[in-house]
Amino acid sequence: MAYLQITKQNIDEQHICCALGAKQYELAVNEKKRWLKERMEEGLVFYRLDDRAKVFIEYLPANQAWAPIDAPNYMFVNCLWVSGRHKGQGHAAKLLERCKEDAAALGMDGIVHIVGNKKLPYLSDKAFFEHMGFKVVDEAEPYFQLMALTWNETAASPTFKPHVKQVFSPEKGISIYYTAQCPFAVGMLEELQSAARLKGVPFRACRITSKEQAQQAPAVWTTFALYYDGKFVTHEIMSVNKFDKLLERLKPAYKPAHSTNS
């Protein structure tokens, strides 16, 4: 099956794999497309299977990455996703090979990607990247790992920026840092805010709008990072029901804002 590169010229007519067929995320998908167009000016490549499926890779030079990493002369993989009936057919390896070819052609020293130390939603499978020759070069709490594939032995080792390993104290209650990179992150915010309001939990959404903000963000995973009273909780973009249960677990003493004392 053939692959297709999404460009500024064809992106308006092509799907970008995310939220396929989900009309409630249409506006968020359009925001992602605008985000991609802007990043394409900075060297971003979006390459996918030429089919209506979630099979794609998204990468750009690491100095342009919306992530708090130091990886000079490396390519950064934003996302590599193969799902559904296309799993087990070698697509992930082929997509990653395309990224490697592009990085080598630009004279780069390697590729970096953020994974979890175990299987987690929205993060790539560490075992696959190990199989492809990547090695863990840095870690950040509670479970993030930076992996690198290097073909220049004299190249500097990529790292997370030091500030992501320091204590962070935003406002009380829920604080969510996010970008337009994932339509689900943008599309779910209003519902999450409403759920928090019903429980009387302070809610703060902090949209990251530039690579400079992203590279200095407290969150390792800038696509979506949820904090509670200054403590990182999860990078997972969750349903309203799951978020509601999370609020109950984090702060069981909170009562719905409309309730009254008896």
pLDDT category at 169 given cuts 50, 70, 90 is low
Q: What 3-state class would DSSP assign to 197?
A: helix
Q: Is 19 left (phi over 0), alpha (psi -120 to 50) or beta?
A: left
Domains of the chain, start order: 3-160 (3.40.630.30), 164-250 (3.40.30.120)
Distance CA 191, CA 169 (A): 24
pLDDT of 259 reads 40
pLDDT for 7-43, tens place per residue? Answer: 999 999 999 998 877 778 899 999 999 999 999 999 9
Distance CA 144, CA 134 (A): 15
pLDDT of 204 reads 93
Q: What 3-state class would DSSP assign to 166?
A: coil
Helices 183-198, 240-250: axis angle to 10 degrees equals 50
pLDDT category at 261 given cuts 50, 70, 90 is very low
Q: Which of 75, 71, 91 minimizes the C-alpha distance to 83?
A: 91
Strand partners, 77: 59
Distance (Å) of CA 34 to CA 46, 64, 207: 13, 16, 15
pLDDT category at 84 given cuts 50, 70, 90 is confident
Q: Which amino acid is at 229?
A: D
C-alpha neighbours within 13 Å on the C-beta side of residue 126: 16
Taking residues 190-198, report their average pLDDT.
Answer: 94
